[in-house]
Structures are given as structure tokens and as C-alpha cells.
Copies of this chain bind each other. A is one copy, B any other.
Amino acid sequence: MTAKASRQPLSRERVLAAAVVVADAEGIQALTMRRLAGDLGVEAMSLYHHLPAKEALLDGVVETVIAEIDAAVGRLSANGDGEDWRTRLRGQFLAARQIMVRHPWMPALLGTRRAIPVGLYAYYDGIVGTLLGAGFSHHLAHRAVHAFGSLPLGFAQEVFSPAAAGGSMEADVAEADLAAMAGALPHLTAMVAMEMHDGSDPTLGWCDSQLEFEFTLDLLLDGLERLRDQNQVKS
């Protein structure tokens, strides 16, 4: 499907880049060793000269995307120096989100990794540094990192929109389900009806919009700021 690659020799980087292209185009389940090799104009077994196993390939793919985020965050830090801690973190998380939208398979893939992607450490060190610089205690900074969850990586847990698995998102199916269950689920259907009336968020299926993301983020930032100020007063 994809055009055969030019005749430059294979490398770990080229393999990983091609893997990301496959996942972006057809989902993570389309990423097989044989398929990837085919895209690179090579036999499947050649990949094992640059990566020891499929698991290592997937680890590398995750690292590649994390590196994208690190680079984007680095570019942000280069500019806004006098920024408030909140606008700084906010900008970083939203930049990560822009990248994540292009790699919708990342949340699910990240969940299957056994080791922590090393690129994450640098990113989180910066986040903790920002918090400490803004007067947070080490303890509260620690709690904050956990409270953020996956927001620094640009996505939120999406219990109600599992499109990430790699397929078309089926908003209308969910809508049909809801209509059928209207009697049994009065509160949920009323809520959805009200929200659809407003027009902004049509279905529970794709509510992880920019707005929802920013709402949750601001809710957490507000709460953390309040806790920081309480602690300062107390001591």
C-alpha cells in the first residue's frame, strides 16, 4: 500500500518512524512485523537487526511519540520564561494534546507497556520543577503529579469514548443505545438531551473535546493552587 522506501539502509529510527506512520494510518492492530517490513521494502526478519522483538518495537514507538512531546514542550519553554506556573503547565499539556490527537492509538498502547518510557522522566522533571518554583511543597507536587494523571500527555481517561482501540468511532450506535434505554436511564438521557440542545457536545461518544479537557485541567489547577495557599498560610 505504502510506496516502497528508498534504498538507504535500514535503521532503528527509520523503522520506528515507519511504524508510527502505519499506526496513524490504520491503527495499532495493523502494525505487524511482516506488514512493517513490507512498507520498508524489506523482509520481516531484517527488522530484527535493529530491534530485538516486537515488544521493543512498541516500546520504541511510544518513545518516539514521547520525544515529540518533549520537543514541543522544549520549544515552549524556550519562549515564555516569565510565565505564571498555571499558564505554563496549561500550555504544555495542551501542546501535548495536539500531538496526541494525531496519534489516537497512544493511550491504549501506553497502557500495555511494562516499563516507563524514559523520555517521560525529563518531561515530568520539568513539571515538578515548575510546581516547586511556584511554592509547592515536594509533597503537594507529588500529589499534583498523580492528580494530573494523563493530562500532561494530552489525554484523559475516556471511559465513554473507546475509539482509541483503532477503528471508526461509532457515535450513532451509542445514540441508538441511549434512545432504547431512555426509560431505564432517566438522568443520563435527560443530561444528554440538555447538552445536545446546547449543540456543542452532541454525544457522550466524543466528549473528550478541547473544552472538556480544559475544564478538567482548570478544575485541578484551581484546587491545587488553593491547597498550596492553604499550606503556606498554615506554616
Contacts and interface: CB of A to CB of B under 8 A. Distances in A.
Interface string A194-235: 110010010000011000100110011011101100000000
Given A118-B177, A150-B159, A219-B220, A191 B128 contact: yes
A160 B115 CA distance: 9
- Interface size of A as a range: 35 or more
17 contacts: A108-B111, A112-B162, A115-B170, A116-B160, A120-B160, A121-B184, A121-B185, A124-B160, A125-B184, A139-B198, A142-B201, A146-B208, A146-B212, A146-B215, A146-B216, A149-B159, A156-B157
Interface of A: 107-108, 110-116, 118, 120-122, 124-126, 128-129, 132, 138-139, 141-143, 145-147, 149-150, 152-153, 156-157, 159-160, 162-165, 167, 170, 173-174, 177-178, 181, 184-188, 190-191, 194-195, 198, 201, 207-208, 212, 215-216, 219-220, 222-224, 226-227
A146 B204 CA distance: 9
Contacts of A184: 121-122, 125
A147 B194 contact: no
